[in-house]
Amino acid sequence: MWIASGLPAALEHGLSLTAPGATYHMTMQFGGTVLYVDQVSPVVDFYRRAFGLNVRFLDETLGFAELETGGSMLAIAAHSLGEILMPNQYSRPANGHPAGVEIAFLTLDVSASFDKAIAEGATPITPPRRMPWGLEVAYVRAPEGTLIGFSEPPTAATQRSSD
């Protein structure tokens, strides 16, 4: 994650490392996902329009944004920021292909979320379908190439049946 490898650069550029009122434990805790892209603003705009995510932090000069997800952080960063944070070690995905990562959203209406993402510019991958474990899922590819999955929230019954 960018915070671990780029702490001095992040502080130098005034990036927030703590959420207001957040409590952090000394054990490992997942903090979020950073998507490295060519252009930050259009990607942020897509996630804002398609999923209703609000921008928590945006530095267009640095090429970094954090989006409110209701949980872990989702950040969008420019490849150039990756090169600053990880000098001589950052590499863009080969041949411009997207990285093998899925961002998953839980939703009570998979079909509507799938349709909204497509209306805002995503490419359909797999239309909504009911899986053997009982949940409806669907997949799209965001304009910048990220794979996005939609799923109904697991219920206690589906969680028990998959154990």
Q: Are 135 and 151 in contact (CB under 8 A)?
A: yes
**What's the whole-number mean pLDDT along residues 29-50?**
93
pLDDT tens digits for 52-64? 999 999 999 999 9
pTM, two decimal places: 0.76
The whole-angstrom separation of Cα 131 and Cα 147 is 18
Res. 107: pLDDT tops 60: yes
**Does 3.20.20.70 match the CATH number of domain 1-92?**
no
Residue with tokens 């799938």: 114
Residue with tokens 């510019």: 121
The whole-angstrom separation of Cα 94 and Cα 72 is 27
User: Where do the structural domains in the chain lie, given as residue ranges?
Assistant: 1-92, 97-163
- DSSP for 24-89, please give it: --SS----EEEEEES-HHHHHHHHHHHH-PPEEEEETTTTEEEE--SSSEEEEEEHHHHHHHSTTT
Fold exhibited by the domain 97-163: 3.30.720
pLDDT tens digits for 108-150? 999 999 999 999 999 999 999 999 999 999 999 999 999 999 9
- Please measure the distance between the N-terminal and C-terminal CA atoms of the chain and give it in whole angstroms: 30
**What is the pLDDT, as a whole number, of residue 8?**
41
